């Protein structure tokens, strides 16, 4: 498994950020071969900082998700110049340990 952690700053309204995410990026991520999971987490006290975590079966799929995410941010900036996020950090690598609650 491979994962990418992206940190975004400048998100004034996390609720507003969810609609474009649902309308585009999530579907694009889910359509990638080897997709396992995607999480978008509000970690900012005032809602201005969020992180995403995407997990894929291969490094190639993770790399493709990074390309898709970068294009999505560019489209968001073009459509919403006053509310668009800034990707301040992107880290990616192999997952070396994981745990999932069994049902």
* Residue 98, C-beta contacts closer than 8 angstroms, at least 6 positions apart: 1
The mean of the pLDDT values for the chain is 83
Percent above pLDDT 70 for the chain: 86
6: Cα separation from own chain's centroid: 6
31 found inside a domain: yes
pLDDT of residue 46: 56
Asked if residue 75 is part of any domain, the answer here is: yes
pLDDT tens per residue, range 54-80: 999 999 999 998 888 888 878 777 777
Residue 101 lies in a domain: no
> Considering only 19-23, 28-32, 80-84, which range has the smallest mean pLDDT?
80-84
Q: What CATH code is carried by the domain that includes residue 26?
A: 3.30.70
* CA–CA gap between residue 90 and residue 8 (Å, rounded): 9
Structural domain range at position 43: 10-94
Residue 63 covered by a domain? yes
Q: How many domains does the chain have?
A: 1
């Amino acid at each position: 498994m491979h994962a990418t952690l992206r940190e975004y700053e400048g998100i004034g309204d996390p609720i507003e950020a969810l609609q474009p995410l649902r309308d585009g990026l999530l579907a694009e991520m889910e359509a990638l071969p080897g997709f396992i999971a995607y999480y978008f987490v509000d970690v900012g006290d005032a809602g201005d900082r969020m992180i995403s975590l995407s997990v894929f079966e291969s490094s190639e799929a993770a790399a493709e998700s990074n390309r898709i995410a970068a294009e999505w941010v560019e489209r968001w900036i073009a459509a919403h110049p006053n509310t668009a996020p800034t990707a301040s950090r992107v880290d990616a690598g192999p997952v070396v340990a994981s745990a999932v609650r069994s049902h």
